[in-house]
Amino acid sequence: MKSILVVLLFTFSLFLGKEGYGQNAQSSGKDFWFGYMENLSPGVNNTPEFIVQLFAIDADASVEIEIPGRNYKRNVFLMAEEVLDIQLPSFDLEPRGSGVTSSLAVHLTSTSNIDVVAIHSRAFFSATTRLLPTASLGTDHMILAAKDYRNQSPSSMLVVATENDTEVKVCQSPCGAKGEFRFRLNQGETYQFQSPEDLTGTEIIGNKPIAVFSGAKQAALVEGDDSHIYNAMPPLNYADTVFAAVPHPRVKESSYLSILSLSDDTRVTIGGNTVFVNRGEKRDVKFNVPLIIKGSKPFFVSQYNSGSSAFLMGGTFGPSVRLLVPLNSRVKKMSFNTKKDIEWYGFKLIHGLCIIAEDTTNLRLNTNPISNFIKIPNSVYFYSTQVIDSGTYNLESPVGFIGNVYGSSPAEYYTFSLGYNDSLLVNSRIQSASDDCSKWRIASNLNNGEFQILENGSAIDGSDFEIYDSRANLVYKNTYIKINKQVFKPNLAIGMYYLRFDSCNTTKKFVVKN
């Protein structure tokens, strides 16, 4: 039997039958907290516009938009499967400077599940990101930020408190070598920190769930021109071991991946190349063909194009950064609006759509089947890229997909993901919840690959448990009987797995290594 190591990573709720923190990472929800980061100075490159794009997934939604620090409230109604862009009031929602606490958070509540994209629209410096609902937030983070290679603008991060008396510790990478600092926030407050150095690898830990954003005030990445970089950064349980990347069709020769490892000596295979990355370290890799990215341990990866300075030639003006969605985080339905054009000398965005799926059967765009899928080399996945007109689009698939929408013109570039949903990994059977359901862990044996399940409660006694691989295939099933203290020998291949108990609504994510 191959010797294996089973490393427990994270605990999160598997089913949606119980509200609360620690659920599977997903982009849909009924409650959102977020904030915008500092962009250009006011009055430069037109007046900034702050917009939220809302999508009501399966049911009508009454949504309240609130900015507590500005005494602002607005209610909007969406019909089921409707998508709307809502412009926020014109007052400035950007914190200014480093080490600044502000009351600038935006709070959304909805009567049914919605997906949300935050948009900061600015000539040459637009930025967009899909948001995480409060239920998907966590306490432990490590960020992928950005650095201005011209050294003219700072790398940035923003923390948003979802509860009062939130204590936050920040440790810049390499953590332990640069010291740490702490701050306290109340609900709806934001804290922005900036540095001339790349903040990638910085650890941000809260005693309560926090929303974290990272990027740069404005940055030129490797080459080309600069832009504002702004991304919602998920907690550590979003990290994974398998991703897919497709370069932007118009800028294949300036597409890059940024790998951020959560552990030392992480082996990452990018297509046919292998790199080793240590904890908190970022490794940039240039690529120009669709490929699969696999790691021996969980990691984050973002994709960016460095942009172009070919302003008069109609180039893709300004860079963008987008955190990649793990291949196992597929959604079955998503609607979106393309971003509206910046009114700047008549420039028009050329919009595009990238879809990645394992099963392309019955995958439809505005009810029409998509037929131009191409296989990603050395994988079971397929991708499709296509130019789309301005407008509203709906994507549906019975088995799920991932991807992103993007647009470029000489005046700006934007991109955001099509959403993610880890709960598709297993069948959603609603089970009774118990406080004991989280009181179990995996105890591994390095010598022979055997492991035991240890627990401090009675909820899982005698329960069946299942192990699923990252593609939702059931690979092992057994019965846990506490009194026998069984040793299990699943003989799993190297990779990411999910273990769940029938008696609980929790699962645990773990990695099998050599």
Threshold 0.75, pTM exceeds: yes
Tokens 């990866």, residue located: 301
Question: What does the pLDDT read at residue 14?
Answer: 30
Q: Is the pLDDT of residue 159 over 70?
A: yes
Question: Kindly report the CA angle at 357 between 354 and 362, in degrees rounded to 5?
Answer: 100
Higher pLDDT, 222 or 233: 233
- DSSP class of residue 36 equals P
Q: Give CA–CA dist 117/191, Å, rounded.
A: 21
CB 220 within 8 A of CB 151: no
Task: Give the model's confidence band at 11: pLDDT under 50 very low, under 70 low, under 90 confident, else very high.
Answer: very low
What would the pLDDT profile of 163-194 be if each residue is shown by its tens digit?
A: 999 999 999 988 877 778 999 999 999 999 99
- Locate 200 and state its tokens: 């990638």
Higher pLDDT, 11 or 334: 334
Span 366-390, average pLDDT: 93
What would the pLDDT profile of 99-124 be if each residue is shown by its tens digit?
A: 999 999 999 999 999 999 999 988 77
What would the pLDDT profile of 49-60 be if each residue is shown by its tens digit?
A: 899 999 999 999
Residue 337 β-bridge partners:
392
- Helix, strand, or coil (residue 347): coil
Within 10 Å of residue 123's Cβ, how many Cβ atoms?
18
C-alpha closest to that of 280 among 295, 265, 261: 261
Span 62-66, average pLDDT: 98
C-alpha closest to that of 99 among 19, 231, 190, 29: 190
Span 270-277, average pLDDT: 92
Higher pLDDT, 447 or 359: 359
Lowest model confidence (mean pLDDT) among 7-11, 348-352, 414-418, 457-461:
7-11
Higher pLDDT, 387 or 341: 387
Tokens 């040793």, residue located: 487
Q: Give CA–CA dist 85/247, Å, rounded.
A: 27
Question: What does the pLDDT read at residue 514?
Answer: 58
Residue 195: exposed, middle, or buried by beta-carbon count in 10 A (0-12, 13-18, 19+)? Answer: middle
Residue type for 511, please? V
Task: Give the model's confidence band at 505: pLDDT under 50 very low, under 70 low, under 90 confident, else very high.
Answer: low
- Rounded to 5 degrees, what are φ and ψ at 513? -125, 170
Beta strands in 306-391, from DSSP E residues, in sequence order:
320-323, 331-337, 350-357, 364-365, 368-369, 374-375, 382-388
Tokens 């399940």, residue located: 453
Question: What does the pLDDT read at residue 506?
Answer: 65
CB 9 within 8 A of CB 512: no
* Percent above pLDDT 90 for the chain: 50
Give the chain's domains with CATH numbers.
5-9+427-513 (2.60.40.3080), 25-420 (no CATH)
The CA distances from residue 68 to 93, 103, 108, 248, in Å, are 12, 7, 11, 39
Q: Give CA–CA dist 385/383, Å, rounded.
A: 7
How many CA atoms within 13 Å lie on the side-chain side of 389?
2
- Rounded to 5 degrees, what are φ and ψ at 68? -55, -40
Within 10 Å of residue 253's Cβ, how many Cβ atoms?
9
- Helix, strand, or coil (residue 479): strand
**What is the total residue count of the chain?**
514
Q: Give CA–CA dist 181/46, Å, rounded.
A: 36
Q: Give CA–CA dist 456/439, Å, rounded.
A: 5
- Helix, strand, or coil (residue 93): coil
> Taking the CA atoms of the chain, what radius of gyration do you get in angstroms?
22
Q: How far is CA 465 from the centre of its chain?
A: 28
Question: What does the pLDDT read at residue 4?
Answer: 44
C-alpha closest to that of 87 among 288, 340, 285, 440: 340
The CA distances from residue 369 to 83, 136, 365, in Å, are 21, 32, 6
255-261/203-220 β-pairing = unpaired
Question: What does the pLDDT read at residue 334?
Answer: 96
Secondary structure tally for the chain: helices H, strands E: 0, 37
Question: What does the pLDDT read at residue 113?
Answer: 95
